[in-house]
Structure 1
């Protein structure tokens, strides 16, 4: 998986980057760079590119789910995190039930079946952590019905995970009554039957943020470790491009920037992601935030947090 990069001059990077709200200007070429050119490899669903990224080292640069990155680091994959959030959201609304079959509240989940695309899906890790810390739900007491394996082939699902039959979907199983709740996230259709398990999820998410300072990121930027080691100038340029695109495309609203940049700005969120992932058995050991970066990426954006 070792890659070779020129020591100077412009580089072309094989890139995994969806049409995200915060990277529209970058991907459309409205932000110029004399140092970096991008060879975009598109997938209908960007997470389908995560396996080739972590298993084959296919990409030089791109976006990756934060939980997948934590697993990649734990199992020694040659990737390095940039302190740049590409996508984030408050996750409380992502778990729903079919209101036509009765009401399901957080306290009702233990002993029930809940569908989620994969046990290691980042949204699932966030939702299980929130349910445990804020609502007293033990994730080990829930049967998680999953449809895919982990992006990391080294990971084995825990015993309270069962695999759905081929051809089924979380939404389909929920509406047929085969599961009691489902994590749908961005796949949530506008269907009045689907109601949140967590009451008033928007208010609950904002309240949790005000209490903890945690923004639950989904995807962040990563680079191949050999690129970070050989071309720190390219890594710094990638950070600049991502930041400029974010500020153009998704400026802060009401004083809240949902896509923080810089290690210190996202430290509480990363600490929480690590804590949730380890508690749920998704990663084999705790990881310190500073381990997520190397000597180049750890310093990215630091000037923004220094006076003057």
Structure 2
């Protein structure tokens, strides 16, 4: 069988693939699990994997390259409501997203999906013009000399680059007022650092009730040349990831021996499905069309791409567009 290399983050949705419990039909898969940022830095810098979990907004940027090196599949290994991921200096007097106008907001990666979603959501639903803050890039927990993978900084934004101290420290000392992040800083919780939404769940549920969107952070992408050389691989990957997600849910449902250390694991699953619906983490184009239209718009409104991509164009050339 053809051998393919796959790079993924470590989650209940990917472990069945890494263990071989869920095979990629017709292919011998060599699956590597690693931390998200290390995975992205390695793939975007060295392009080592044939198939890789990929940052969603960055994937859209690749579609404007002449060679269009990657082809996405409509499965989304990571989703997150990011209202819980906005941290503030408590002395800054920030009580609502609109209060971030004119303030300094730390970012590790300008085009990371968390930041794209927050800029778009806060402008569309909370009255914060995406260009009103000053964005400060740097390393979360240690100073960083520069970007870990190539970035584009649209001219309409005010952007500063800090290489002397970490964003976590800058937030604690008040040199930045807020932080958009996929990972909580080490300086939280503390006397100086809190969250913009200390109880984010009601805000996130209200957003879901208004939009029906559970925002994806990542998409699955494979090298276009690999897809072209291996007919059937796109469908095999799609089917395998859907099957792995079903295995993950079954383990959450099983109370014989808890698959996580959460004591009310089953109750959390049932509550989530009651609030968001049974298929709250959908795969396929049809069930994600409205969400994809929004993220395509947000990425363009940010100026990260010039093209008004349609959802179909994200997966053009694959064989799962009717899913």
Instruction: Please report how far the alpha carbon of residue 51 of structure 1 lies from its aligned counterpart in structure 2 after TM superposition.
Output: 4.4
Measured in 1, the distance between the counterparts of 2:64 and 2:236 equals 27
Which stretch of structure 1 is more off in the superposition, 54-63 or 203-212?
A: 54-63
- What TM-score comes out, normalization by structure 2 length? 0.81
RMSD: 2.3
Pairing partner for 2:314 from 287, 292, 297: 292
Which stretch of structure 1 is more off in the superposition, 96-105 or 235-244?
A: 96-105
- Whether the 8 Å CA contact 2:61–2:305 is kept in 1: the answer is yes
Structure 1 pair 97/210, CA: closer, same or farther in 2 (3 Å)? Answer: same
Q: Which residue in 2 is equivalent to 1:161?
A: 159
Measured in 2, the distance between the counterparts of 1:49 and 1:120 equals 16
- What TM-score comes out, normalization by structure 1 length? 0.85
Verify: 1:214 aligned to 2:221, yes or no: no
Pairing partner for 2:173 from 160, 173, 176: 176
Structure 1 pair 297/177, CA: closer, same or farther in 2 (3 Å)? Answer: farther
Q: Which residue in 2 is equivalent to 1:75?
A: 65
Q: Secondary structure at 1:162's aligned position in 2? A: strand
Structure 1 pair 274/33, CA: closer, same or farther in 2 (3 Å)? Answer: closer
Measured in 1, the distance between the counterparts of 2:240 and 2:288 equals 19
Which stretch of structure 1 is more off in the superposition, 101-110 or 115-124?
A: 101-110
Which stretch of structure 1 is more off in the superposition, 26-35 or 221-230?
A: 26-35
Which stretch of structure 1 is more off in the superposition, 133-142 or 223-232?
A: 223-232
Verify: 1:63 aligned to 2:50, yes or no: no
Instruction: Please report how far the alpha carbon of residue 265 of structure 1 lies from its aligned counterpart in structure 2 after TM superposition.
Output: 0.8
Structure 1 pair 111/256, CA: closer, same or farther in 2 (3 Å)? Answer: farther
Measured in 2, the distance between the counterparts of 1:90 and 1:161 equals 25
Q: Which residue in 2 is equivalent to 1:17?
A: 8
Unaligned runs of 5+ in 2: 139-145, 251-268
Matches within 5 A, 1:1-308: 10-33=1-24, 35-41=26-32, 43=34, 45-54=35-44, 56-76=46-66, 77-99=68-90, 102-147=93-138, 149=147, 151-152=149-150, 155-158=152-155, 159-166=157-164, 168-188=165-185, 191-193=189-191, 194-198=193-197, 200-250=199-249, 253-254=273-274, 255-299=277-321, 302=323
Q: Whose relative contact order is higher, 1 or 2, with alpha carbons under 8 Å and at least 6 apart?
A: 1
Measured in 2, the distance between the counterparts of 1:249 and 1:186 equals 23
Q: Which residue in 2 is equivalent to 1:3?
A: none
Measured in 2, the distance between the counterparts of 1:53 and 1:279 equals 26
Q: Secondary structure at 1:273's aligned position in 2? A: helix
Measured in 1, the distance between the counterparts of 2:288 and 2:233 equals 22
Q: Which residue in 1 is equivalent to 2:265?
A: none
Unaligned runs of 5+ in 1: 1-9, 303-308
Number of aligned positions between the proteins = 289
Q: Secondary structure at 2:220's aligned position in 1? A: strand
Instruction: Please report how far the alpha carbon of residue 12 of structure 1 lies from its aligned counterpart in structure 2 after TM superposition.
Output: 1.4
Instruction: Please report how far the alpha carbon of residue 248 of structure 1 lies from its aligned counterpart in structure 2 after TM superposition.
Output: 1.1
Which stretch of structure 1 is more off in the superposition, 131-140 or 195-204?
A: 195-204
Measured in 2, the distance between the counterparts of 1:96 and 1:266 equals 29
Measured in 2, the distance between the counterparts of 1:269 and 1:250 equals 22
Which stretch of structure 1 is more off in the superposition, 72-81 or 54-63?
A: 54-63
Q: Secondary structure at 1:86's aligned position in 2? A: coil
Which stretch of structure 1 is more off in the superposition, 232-241 or 135-144?
A: 232-241
Instruction: Please report how far the alpha carbon of residue 258 of structure 1 lies from its aligned counterpart in structure 2 after TM superposition.
Output: 4.2
Measured in 2, the distance between the counterparts of 1:100 and 1:108 equals 13
